[in-house]
Amino acid sequence: MSEIAPPDAKPARRRQADRSSSTRDRLIEAAITCLHQRGYAQTTVSVVAEAAGVSRGAMTHQFPAKTDLMVAVVRAVFRKDSDYYEQSIVGVDLVDWMRNLPWTLWGAVSAPSGIAVMEIMLASRSDPQLAERLRDMQMRIDTAAHAWIQDRRRAAGLVERPDGDAIHRLVVAAARGLALEALFRRNSEDVGDSIAVLAELLTHLYPPAKA
């Protein structure tokens, strides 16, 4: 006779799944903090496990290798940034939003999570396995982000340019570069002037439609 499962079997499995998800989230958040504060080289799996208050065994169960954790961080930051951008357009005139896009972008790339992703991207230069897993995913993320911005631009009545992809890459790269420079100099006071230039550049490239 097969064993009859106790009445609370399904709730118990759900609780286990919830605990596993919570552990995973804690590890990802701890990794982001460590990457931001320590850099990639010093963000070892042991350091992340300790920061998250998780055993090494539980860490390995969730992320068998450091590469798995780093890829999960990039994916999680993309989801977080997607929510951030969606919230940024709530109750805002889209033409004004487009003018201020470099400021919104700066808010994402200069945050601890944005710095963490850049640490991972830079580290992939000397880690072929990480580079292989990261490159395609990052390209898909950039493509999705640009498509979303294009939709907002069209909704604002602005005409898309044939070199829109190049403009998008330029603005993103500029914001990321400014974030790295501010981190290196430990001073972001001068960044505002550069972000303002990016905003003015976008205004010239995508002028409001004439009435």
Tell me the DSSP string of 163-208.
THHHHHHHHHHHHHHHHHHHHHHT--TTHHHHHHHHHHHHHHHSPP
Provide the mean pLDDT of the chain. 89
Task: Tell me what pLDDT residue 186 has.
Answer: 77
The DSSP secondary structure of 54-76, one letter per residue, reads: --HHHHHHH-SSHHHHHHHHHHH
Return d(Cα 79, Cα 49) in angstroms, integer.
23
Q: How far apart are the first and last CA of the chain?
A: 80
Q: pLDDT value at position 7?
A: 55
This prediction's pTM: 0.86
Residue 15 pLDDT greater than 70, yes or no? no
For residue range 106-161, what is the model confidence (pLDDT) as tens digits?
Answer: 999 999 999 999 999 999 999 999 999 999 898 899 999 999 999 999 999 999 89
pLDDT for the residue numbered 147: 94
164-197 pLDDT per residue, tens: 999 999 999 999 999 998 888 877 778 999 999 9
pLDDT recorded at residue 171: 94
Q: How far is CA 71 from CA 56, 117, 133, in A?
A: 19, 9, 7
Minimal CA–CA distance to 109: which of 37, 51, 36? 36
Structure confidence at residue 4 as a pLDDT band (50, 70, 90)? very low
